[in-house]
């Protein structure tokens, strides 16, 4: 808010007086409390708990272990952005490895693991069935995965959307049964029941100690609810009556 010709500089309580090229003005001092636009969830609490545990583990390492992580991080590069990538510091490499293991339900490590390239991704097509009272999401798997696979999901999109966006971690890939892995429960816990006609996008990534393969994306339309059996019986009865 602009003020009068009297020069005002400084602050009083929550009011701050200042000047710019348009003249003098006063504004309210911003709150120093950490603002959260999103409500607390179990996933946020679990991620912050994992981060605190990894940070405490880093502070408890010995000098030999610090040196081992420095040597292991020599050839590690950050994720390329705008065509540029830099050397990854030892601390960030330590957090990258252990945060990846925590997200897959694996224990943290104090020693740098040996380099290992992720294997092939056996996940194929997403299949969705609508039973009326329950929507089931399954991923076709061509074989037993040799490395851990992380499943990402996006909120249900419109039918015409051809590429997903804003993917979030759902779970590690469940063990396949009869060539399919059921991801119904983690998806519904994250996004709720998708409506018929919506398109669901899923990404899978093979991840080993922070090293990932390129995301493999699949999608499927949610089918319409099946018509109740008594409706078909009633229609047949009406057609019979008209024929008589």
Q: What is the average pLDDT across 35-62?
A: 85
Q: Is 90 helix (H, G, I), strand (E, B) or coil?
A: helix
pTM beyond 0.75: no
Question: Domains of the chain: which residue ranges?
Answer: 1-30, 44-103, 123-221
Q: Nearest Cα to 219, choosing from 128, 121, 122, 151?
A: 128
pLDDT in tens, 12-22: 777 888 877 77
CB-based contacts of 128: which residues, under 8 Å, 6+ apart? 135, 136, 137, 138, 194, 200, 220, 221, 222, 223
Question: Which of the two residues, 126 and 10, has the higher pLDDT score?
Answer: 126
Per cent of the chain over pLDDT 70 is 85
pLDDT in tens, 75-107: 888 877 767 788 889 999 999 999 988 988 889
CB-based contacts of 154: which residues, under 8 Å, 6+ apart? 164, 165, 166, 167, 168, 200, 201, 202, 203
Question: Which of the two residues, 14 and 67, has the higher pLDDT score?
Answer: 67
pLDDT in tens, 180-232: 999 999 999 999 999 999 999 999 999 888 888 888 999 999 998 776 655 45
CA distance 90 to 136: 43
Q: 123-221: what fold? A: Immunoglobulin-like (2.60.40)
Q: Nearest Cα to 112, choosing from 62, 60, 73?
A: 73
What mean pLDDT value characterizes the chain?
A: 84
- Provide the token pair at 161: 């959307």
Instruction: Count CB neighbours of 128 within 10 A.
Output: 20
CA distance 65 to 88: 17
């Amino acid at each position: 808010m602009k003020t009068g010709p009297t020069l005002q500089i400084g602050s009083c309580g929550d009011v701050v007086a200042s000047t710019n090229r348009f003249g003098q003005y006063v504004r309210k001092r911003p709150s120093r409390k950490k603002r959260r636009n999103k409500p607390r969830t179990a996933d946020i609490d679990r991620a912050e708990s994992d981060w605190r545990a990894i940070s405490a583990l880093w502070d408890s390492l010995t000098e030999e272990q610090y040196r081992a992580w420095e040597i292991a991080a020599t050839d590690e590069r950050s994720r390329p952005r705008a065509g540029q990538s830099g050397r990854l510091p030892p601390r960030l490499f330590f957090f990258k490895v252990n945060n990846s293991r925590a997200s897959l339900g694996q224990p943290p490590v104090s020693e740098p693991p040996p380099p290992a390239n992720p294997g092939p991704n056996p996940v194929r097509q997403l299949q969705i069935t609508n039973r009326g009272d329950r929507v089931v999401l399954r991923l076709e798997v061509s074989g037993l995965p040799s490395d851990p696979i992380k499943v990402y999901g996006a909120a249900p999109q419109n039918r015409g959307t051809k590429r997903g966006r804003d993917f979030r971690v759902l779970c590690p890939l469940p063990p396949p049964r009869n060539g399919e892995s059921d991801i119904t429960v983690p998806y519904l816990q994250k996004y709720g029941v998708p409506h018929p006609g919506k398109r669901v996008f899923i990404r899978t990534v093979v991840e080993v100690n922070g090293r990932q393969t390129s995301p493999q994306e699949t999608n499927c339309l949610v089918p319409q609810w099946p018509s109740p059996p008594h409706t078909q019986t009633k229609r047949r009865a009406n057609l019979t009556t008209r024929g008589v």
